[in-house]
Amino acid sequence: MTEETQNQLKIWQQNQRKLVEAHDGTLLAISEEQDIICIQEPYLNSIGLTTLPRGWIAIYPTTHRDDKRKRTRSLIMVNTKIRSDSWMQLDVHSTDITAIQLKGGIVDINIYNIYNSCKNNNTLRTLKQHLEDRERKEMRQKEGEGAEKRQSVDIWLRDLNRHHPLWEDDNNDRLFTKKDLENAEVLIEMLAEHDMEMALPKDIPTIRNSRGNLTRPDNVFITGEAAD
């Protein structure tokens, strides 16, 4: 990356709802300014792949080809202006989570693109197990003799399919059912456990549903000490 942009990271997040029109619109709208594109429910062609403009690399979940019964619902596009030796894919066993790690100086930036089903919290449980395994590995590396002391920062970009007063407009209180609040509690506990702060300010809608109502099923969280 150029000297002028090496301290910035621009991420575009979008749910394509598996629609080719939404996919084509994304490709027309993005520009060289974006570094990372995180797509939930991406449009995939007949062989299970996406089309890309020149200058981008597609990263699919590590289990993308493992189970043909499960449709991939997460995809990351990386701008080739980011050197290939400065990032790597993280192994997460879910077709709903794609993750990469960027290495900059002594800081590792872990970017998780997450689709969470409205029917269950399976994706959250998979992420929770992955983070626990990753943190144990990082701890062993830090304890190793002569090991480089690195800082780890997380960015979670997610289609939550969860409604809660912490992020949803208070006027949408009809969405705060007991079941919705209980389902969101699993996420809230994970945010506290991993010191994650909400980066997208409360009340900003991220979707207009089929009835024309503005709601907030999508969100962005980042490690607290790196929130600025």
Task: Determine, yes or no, domain membership for 84.
Answer: yes
Q: CA 219 to CA 172: how far, in whole Å?
A: 16
pTM of the model: 0.93
* Farthest-apart Cα atoms in the chain, separation: 59
Of residues 129 and 150, more confidence is placed in 129
Which residue, among 132, 203, 136, 196, has the nearest Cα to 169 in the 3D structure? 203
Average pLDDT value for residue range 148-168: 91
Check: CB of residue 191 under 8 Å from CB of residue 122: no
Q: Whole domain around residue 107: which residue ranges?
A: 11-226
Task: Determine, yes or no, domain membership for 4.
Answer: no
**Confidence bin at 3 (pLDDT 50/70/90):** low
Token digits for 223?
């490690």
Task: Determine, yes or no, domain membership for 5.
Answer: no
Q: Tell me what pLDDT residue 145 has.
A: 60
**Confidence bin at 1 (pLDDT 50/70/90):** very low
Task: Determine, yes or no, domain membership for 168.
Answer: yes
Task: Determine, yes or no, domain membership for 197.
Answer: yes
Computed over every residue of the chain, the mean pLDDT equals 91
For 68-104, what is each residue's pLDDT tens digit? 778 999 999 999 999 999 999 999 999 999 999 999 8
Q: Which amino acid is at 146?
A: G
For 116-136, what is each residue's pLDDT tens digit? 998 899 999 999 999 999 999
Residue 36: phi and psi, rounded to 5, are -130, 135
Task: Determine, yes or no, domain membership for 6.
Answer: no
CATH number at residue 81: 3.60.10.10
Task: Determine, yes or no, domain membership for 194.
Answer: yes
Task: Determine, yes or no, domain membership for 2.
Answer: no
Overall domain count for the chain:
1
Percentage of the chain with pLDDT > 90?
77
Dihedral angle sign, alpha carbons of residues 111, 117, 120, 122 = negative
Q: How many CB atoms lie within 10 A of CB 93?
A: 12
For residue 122, what are the CA distances in angstroms to 91, 92, 116?
A: 17, 13, 8
